[in-house]
Chains A and B, each alone.
Chain A
């Protein structure tokens, strides 16, 4: 089934991480298999942050080979390891999409099972087969001054229940772009083969991964976030309410049949997009009085910082 949530702060001091995690925890019933978050604006040393998963059987022992591989494509500025994730701050030699693809592939070749889950100027991506609160505590996300983020709770319908197949999916090799998705895109396989012929590589058979790459490519051609999400309603078949996040904000689109839910709540201080109202109650209490509306089918919206 799956559930999604997005949260963007319009000013400083709004607790983005805490709010997003509270929303995702309230949506646990929609996705008990795994939880994932894309969070933007957390501090790190370097130009890009790499979120690198050590693998289901991997661990800290992969550190040397991972850092060596990164060093072959630039300079490591900072690194730490927490429970399966390497966070590596780096200055890349070649920050173009091709350069970042080469970097990611080299890191993954260097150590079996290692996966580069994201690269971004502002993005940190964490996903795991656990609930939101566990992830929040384990990877110490409390108090970090994130600007915005999107998250997902997964009930697997398309592929395996493991960390690799969880959302969010990074739009490799475009920095900072990720997607979380509730639904089932039905024309992804055909389009994926076309994209592969054009040189893109996919890490999973998951439909959402294709959606991320498709949107990032539209953005790289100069479309605004608003234009890209609007166009996607015609280009994607199947059921979807998805959020696409970038360094500057996020966008949402809902399929024409209104198959999957989508509520939007907005104040002067923040905007939230959620699968169910219970997520807003989870973050802001039972008695919140915030104007909430359902995004109509075939509609899209985007918000930037």
Chain B
């Protein structure tokens, strides 16, 4: 990154409102590359930014970082809290450390990469885009996902992909338990090519993992009481 064009915000001693105000003022004045020092795990940093801006957080961020955004390019050098990138339309978020529960909830497009571990309910209600986790992911990851792809290089905890509508999840490590109506499918050549591209930001190759693909069994899409035994078996 060109240091000359990088605008600096130092969050030390400031309220979240003041920090976000400074970021917005820089964006409004035409700055497209910003670094934020001392984010100190504050919540709601860089929320609601609709311009294609690059922001680097040199530390940890709290909850909802980069939420309600469209076109952001975020880099978080530390850890992220809950609900990273909530409802993002499109954009790119990369976390060097780990991220908390509900990582990338309901995002509609773009890419979220967590190099460490992700928490429970990661990519809940995913509506598009790709979520990549370099480490392991928590309980009920992919719950009610509708579209998009989740790639987990490590292990997945219980209730994976519970009540999934569509979309797919690749898991390189162990799956503790599949959620309701989630089924394991064959990984195709096309899938492998996709994974090759998805793992590039982490400097990893899909050949180093034994990826399993999880998709919806589609037996919970419609409920007819005459088919109760079918429905019950899916649960």
Chain A residues with CB under 8 Å of chain B are: 256-258, 261, 276-278, 280-281, 286-287, 292-294, 296-298
Contact = CB atoms under 8 A, between A and B. Distances in A.
Nearest to B102: A258
A261 B41 contact: no
B218 interface: no
Contacts of B81: 276-277
B12 A257 contact: no
A293 B59 CA distance: 15
Interface string B119-148: 111000000000000000011100000000
Interface string B23-51: 00000000000000111111100000000
A276 B62 contact: yes
Contacts of A281: 40-41, 60
18 contacts: A257-B120, A257-B140, A258-B101, A276-B41, A276-B63, A276-B81, A277-B41, A277-B62, A278-B41, A278-B62, A281-B41, A286-B11, A286-B38, A286-B59, A293-B98, A294-B100, A294-B117, A294-B119
B9 to A, nearest CB: 13
From DSSP, what is the main secondary structure of chain B's interface residues? loop
Contacts of A280: 41
Interface in B75-117: 79, 81-82, 98, 100-101, 117
Contacts of A293: 98, 117
A261 B37 CA distance: 25
A276 B42 CA distance: 10
Contacts of A287: 38, 59
Nearest to A297: B139
Contacts of A286: 11-12, 37-40, 59
A276 B101 CA distance: 12
A287 B81 CA distance: 16
Contact of B138 (A276, A277, A292, A296): A296
Contacts of B120: 257-258, 297
B39 A296 contact: no
A139 to B, nearest CB: 27
B157 interface: yes
Nearest to A282: B40
A282 to B, nearest CB: 8
Nearest to A254: B120
Contacts of A278: 40-43, 62
A233 to B, nearest CB: 13
A294 B119 CA distance: 8
Nearest to B12: A286
A297 B98 contact: no
Contacts of A297: 120, 138-139, 157
